[in-house]
Amino acid sequence: MSMEATNRKEIGPDERRERRRLRREKQRIENFGRAEKMHLARLAGANVERGQGVPSLEDSAYVGCSGWFYWKWRGQFYPTDLPTSDWFNHYAKQFDTVEINASFYAWPTVTNVKGWARQAGNRSFVYTIKVCELITHIKRFKGTKTLVMDFGMIADILCERMGCFLFQLPPSYHFTKARLNGILGQLDPARRNVVEFRHASWWNETVYSAFRETGTIFCSCSAPRLPDVLVRTADDVYVRLHGPERWYRHDYTGDELTKWANKIRASGAKRAWVYFNNDYEGFAPKNALTMRRLLKVQPSDRRR
């Protein structure tokens, strides 16, 4: 066992929570500065030429996990003796996409994003990026159009490795027509935009119709107290599986996964994005591999 893992075990739960709180507080403060740096980089060009429209991706199912670096995956998905520096390569041998969650907590730097592109190597690997909470939770889409454009620069850096931008709203964010218009009025149509709501009031035809008109992808969810339905509002469908009864801990049965696979196939979507966020007990990789098989996606399908 590594010294880092040993130290983690020696820290009590109260101290761990306090450290997490302080770290989150620091991240939130730093995000303003990080966003400003990316804004300046975007204005300066940062050696990045903006692409024309949404990057083309082949019609297929992109199945993976919401993040790939979780300590509880050691000994389950990652071999116990595998160094953490090799975890991504191990993950990328099984999956060709990942939903980056770290970008929600800490606004990425240009260097961060270029690092993601490099670590994929010669694989046909695609990243979906969760948009920073500065936009969705702190400012809650109020006066954030420039921030959305700045964050969108990530797609210009990743180019063909860019999948979707995921905008996740908090559970306290209930549906209103003004909020709906405010969100859609700030999204950049040159990006593949997905919006995930955490309050059931957003599952309504007014929202679906507005999403269809703007080509915005509605995020379908398997989660407590949210409608267990697949909603298609664009050529792509997007599904996040958190756990139907308990957040992040559910081990999906074969029947449950088959039902979702059938919904995805029946949707007629050109592309499906399916990410498992039930990472707490390490179930996400196992469930995602099963879903790949159900949707008949092979690890070698998109290798270069």
Model pLDDT for residues 195-223, shown as the tens digit of each residue:
999 999 999 999 999 999 999 999 999 99
| Number of neighbours of residue 88 by Cβ within 10 angstroms | 17
CATH class of the domain whose range is 3-44+61-294 = alpha beta
For the stretch 49-108, pLDDT in tens is: 555 556 667 778 999 999 999 999 999 999 999 999 999 999 999 999 999 999 999 999
Cβ–Cβ < 8 Å for 66, 101: yes
For the stretch 76-89, pLDDT in tens is: 999 999 999 999 99
- Rounded Cα distance, 82 and 268, in Å: 40
| 205-214 and 177-184 helices, crossing angle to 10° | 20
User: What is the distance of C-alpha 73 from the center of its chain?
Assistant: 18
| Number of neighbours of residue 287 by Cβ within 10 angstroms | 22
* pLDDT cut 70: percent of the chain above it: 91
- The partner residues of 273 in beta bridges, in order of sequence, read 62, 238
- Higher local confidence (pLDDT), 249 or 179: 179
- Domain boundaries of the chain, sorted by first residue: 3-44+61-294
Residue at token pair 């990530």: 154
Residue at token pair 């599952």: 203
pLDDT given at position 26: 86
Q: Calculate Rg over the CA atoms of the chain.
A: 19
pLDDT given at position 118: 95
For the stretch 109-143, pLDDT in tens is: 999 999 999 999 989 999 999 999 999 999 999 99
For the stretch 282-294, pLDDT in tens is: 899 999 999 999 9
